[in-house]
Amino acid sequence: MALKETIDAGIKQAMLAKDKVRLTALRSIKSQILVAETAEGASANGLSADQELKLLNKAAKQRRDSAATYKEQFRSDLEETELAELAIIEEFLPQQLTESELVEKLVGIIQRTGAKGPSDLGKVMGVAARELSGQADGKRISEVVSLLAFVVGVVGGLSLLSAAIPVVRSYLGELFG
């Protein structure tokens, strides 16, 4: 079943259950789908799976950013609403990588691309963005790639990168935990 039909079915269930938060989140997604489908230059066949994934990631990012803003402004009521909507949106996204899995995959990408330090950041990011699309937020990927590129530059190459992974994981636990 396509995302649009799944969302429509979810809206009906949320209406019957009188689940206002779920209903709001699903209507928001449906609205974004309709806007994307009717945009100039859109395909007559509807959205591709990749376009749907990008749309969901964008909606999730908006909720994360809003929740962070509300948290900074001590508006816990609005923060909770945004986080609840985020959880609903994430139901439709592929499973996100854990920090350990993300580091392992990025180390593999760094080794395959032969990156030697921060100057090769763009090359690594291009491959990482393609391969990890939908599995991790672009901001997370960028932060971890930057950290790993710095580590590669500091420790003197790829051969020592494996030894630095526990330190990187520890830092990421503090950063994202």
Give the ranges where the chain is alpha helix by DSSP (H).
3-17, 20-38, 49-72, 76-90, 99-113, 121-131, 138-155, 161-176
What span, in angstroms and rounded, lies between the C-alpha atoms of 159 and 53? 36
Query: Count of alpha carbons within 13 Å of 51, Cβ hemisphere only?
Result: 15
pLDDT tens, N- to C-terminus, the chain (177 residues): 588 899 999 999 999 999 999 999 999 999 999 998 888 777 777 788 888 888 998 999 999 999 999 999 999 999 999 999 999 999 998 888 888 888 888 888 888 888 776 777 788 888 888 888 778 888 888 888 887 777 766 555 555 555 566 666 666 665 555
Please give the Cα distance from 42 to 85 (Å, whole number): 27
pTM: 0.69
Per-residue pLDDT tens digits for 73-103: 999 999 999 999 999 999 998 888 888 888 8
How remote is the C-alpha of 3 from its chain's centroid?
18
The pLDDT of residue 137: 80
